[in-house]
Structure 1
Amino acid sequence: MKTELKRVVVQRCIVHLVRNSIKYVPSKDYKKFTQSLKKVYGAPSLNGCRKAFEQFCQEWSQYPGAVDVWKRNFNHVEQLFDYGSAVRKVMYTTNAVESINSSFRKVTKNVAFPNENALLKLLYLRTTELYKKWNGSKVQNWAMVRNQLSTNEKISAVLKNTST
């Protein structure tokens, strides 16, 4: 089931795409450049996104390295439009995933594990600590996000299996 979900939800981080592309742009143009990009990933529809992307490519052609980052990853940006705006807002960044990975790195740094089970136990304990820490956290508009996700058959099946 995890493999199927992974194929359906390819969570390419917009924040990282912006960061990777902006390094090709002079700092004096950062604000205007990012405003142009926001029209692409913040478009209300896929057609709007494509039109904004064409305009973005023309407007910023003087920085081919920056534009190329988006051209190479545009199929991932397009995938976001398979979902409603509430879902896209949640999928906009991978900060939560990065936070978990960072936390795992902290507890496993400079530690020798006698066997694989010792590592798995430590990661399990850290996961339960993180769960307790984040238990009160809420996703904005979760009801809308859940409804939009439930329109996808594969995701809907996962949501039914994990309902609380």
Structure 2
Amino acid sequence: MEAELTGHLGYDKGDPAGKGSGNSRNGSTPKTVGTEVGDIALDQPRDRNSTFASALVPKGARRLGGLEDMIISLYAGGMTIRDIQHHLASTLGTELSHETISKVTDAVAEEVKAWQTRPLEAFYPVIYLDALVVKIRDGAHVANRAAHIAVGVDMDGVKHVLGIWVQAAEGAKFWASVCAELANRGVKDVLIVCCDGLTGFPEAIEGTWSQAMVQTCVVHLIRASMRFVSYSDRKAVAAMLRPIYTAANEDAALIALATFADSNLGKKYPAAVASWENAWDRFTPFLAFGPALRKVIYTTNSIESLNYQLRKIIKNRGHFPNDAAAIKLLWLAIRTIEDKRARQRAKEAGLPKGSPRKAPGKLVEGSLIQGWKAALGELALVYPDRINTYL
């Protein structure tokens, strides 16, 4: 700050050049600021004309940037505002009010809003849609709500989180509004939309992108059928289901399903057979594709792995005061997870070639789908008119 004042006045302390300049040093003012290493007492220099303002410690500032970054990091990790308040007091000796910490975390609200409304690309070959449950305070009660998440794959095979939306329940009507919002932000066409087996979901998607193929997640379908199977029979049932979703074509898949239905296990668990029969029209589209593209669209694991990480953070929080708070934390959590993984990879960047690397790859944002070139080639053969425009 003394150096800043020297730059402001134009001469060093004690320099005769300052005589008659019209402004000079005028002592200092004691000030205490909160930092990431605790409270620090400063002597903030002044000038006689009161025109000096430090960029390092602005007027009225009671916290330096490092402390605010720490608060946001703790919040993104799932700690509540009161937890953060206690943590700072016990580790740094810094006493901050509930309102102050709340204002710091609310400072990212505009950034979240800008991210949520940013323009999107006109074409995504594949989009994954899924939801996870969050607890939101509703008056005197805490209610379960669904946080809807969309992940898009661009032409380079890179995944992007397109947005997060919170609604009272995961329903086809709300998914229709999500698809409409994505279209309003620039998404004109989608080849394949991967989702779970929610009733009305395909109609909601086709209402926005009429030519989109809706693919029911095979993993969701397997889980749904396994709900009716006892633990002792699960391995045997899974072995009988495998020929269905690995079949060369729909006819072979029908034969495999009939074999399962006529078996002792199929007769023992007719509800498991029915779950496949009821979802058959939305399961079979991917059987028309080759192995490379099947690997991309047979499951929504790209979004499931993200949801798994987010659930760990949500579990720490318990519930949120409102929808905006839930979206804010989920967005911060995604950013924090990706930053943490990037730092781990940076530490291993200097290792000799061939050395074992333990750092995880990107979770979702910016990660590349394995085998994408082969999958894109298959898409170009199946949808030449729609995809060649963007190649």
TM-score by length of 2: 0.34
- 1:36 maps to what in 2? 240
**C-alpha deviation, 1:24, in angstroms:** 1.3
Answering whether residue 227 of structure 2 is matched by residue 23 of structure 1, we say yes
**C-alpha deviation, 1:38, in angstroms:** 0.6
Question: Which whole-Å CA distance do the structure 1 matches of 2:237 and 2:222 have between them?
Answer: 9
Question: Which whole-Å CA distance do the structure 2 matches of 1:45 and 1:67 have between them?
Answer: 19
Question: Which whole-Å CA distance do the structure 2 matches of 1:130 and 1:87 have between them?
Answer: 28
Matched to 2:261, the amino acid is C
Is the Cα–Cα contact under 8 Å of residues 292 and 371 in structure 2 kept in the other structure? yes
Answering whether residue 351 of structure 2 is matched by residue 147 of structure 1, we say no
Secondary structure of 1:81's counterpart equals helix
Q: How many residue pairs were aligned?
A: 158
Return the match for 1:71 from 277, 282, 294: 277
Percent of aligned positions with the same letter in both sequences?
Answer: 28
Return closer, same or farther for 1:147/1:24 CA change in 2, 3 Å cut-off. same
Is the Cα–Cα contact under 8 Å of residues 84 and 148 in structure 1 kept in the other structure? yes
- 2:214 maps to what in 1? 10
**C-alpha deviation, 1:52, in angstroms:** 1.2
**C-alpha deviation, 1:57, in angstroms:** 2.0
Return closer, same or farther for 1:125/1:12 CA change in 2, 3 Å cut-off. same
Return closer, same or farther for 1:4/1:61 CA change in 2, 3 Å cut-off. farther
Question: Gapped runs of 5+ residues in structure 2?
Answer: 1-182, 194-205, 207-211, 342-361
Is the Cα–Cα contact under 8 Å of residues 22 and 66 in structure 1 kept in the other structure? yes
**C-alpha deviation, 1:124, in angstroms:** 6.4
Return closer, same or farther for 1:102/1:3 CA change in 2, 3 Å cut-off. farther
Matched to 1:20, the amino acid is A
Structure 1 residues 11-42: Cα deviation after superposition (integer angstroms, max 9, x where no partner): 32211211111121222221121111110001
**Which moved further from structure 2: 144-153 or 122-131?**
122-131
Is the Cα–Cα contact under 8 Å of residues 25 and 66 in structure 1 kept in the other structure? yes
Superposition pairs for residues 5-154 of structure 1, below 5 Å? 5=190, 6=193, 7=206, 8-59=212-263, 60-101=266-307, 106=313, 110-111=319-320, 134=362, 137-150=367-380, 151-153=382-384
**Which moved further from structure 2: 25-34 or 131-140?**
131-140
Is the Cα–Cα contact under 8 Å of residues 249 and 288 in structure 2 kept in the other structure? no
**C-alpha deviation, 1:69, in angstroms:** 0.9
Question: Which whole-Å CA distance do the structure 1 matches of 2:271 and 2:281 have between them?
Answer: 17
Matched to 2:375, the amino acid is V
Matched to 1:35, the amino acid is A
- Structure having the higher helix fraction is 1
Matched to 1:145, the amino acid is A
The structure showing larger relative contact order (alpha-carbon pairs under 8 Å, at least 6 residues apart) is: 1
Return closer, same or farther for 1:125/1:23 CA change in 2, 3 Å cut-off. closer
Is the Cα–Cα contact under 8 Å of residues 86 and 144 in structure 1 kept in the other structure? yes
Secondary structure of 1:11's counterpart equals strand
Question: Gapped runs of 5+ residues in structure 1?
Answer: none
TM-score by length of 1: 0.72
Return closer, same or farther for 1:148/1:55 CA change in 2, 3 Å cut-off. same
**Which moved further from structure 2: 121-130 or 39-48?**
121-130
Is the Cα–Cα contact under 8 Å of residues 149 and 155 in structure 1 kept in the other structure? no
- Structure having the higher strand fraction is 2
Give the number of the structure whose alpha-carbon radius of gyration is greater.
2
**C-alpha deviation, 1:9, in angstroms:** 3.4
Structure 1 residues 63-115: Cα deviation after superposition (integer angstroms, max 9, x where no partner): 111111111111122111232221111212112123445667758x75557x9
**C-alpha deviation, 1:137, in angstroms:** 4.0
Matched to 2:252, the amino acid is G
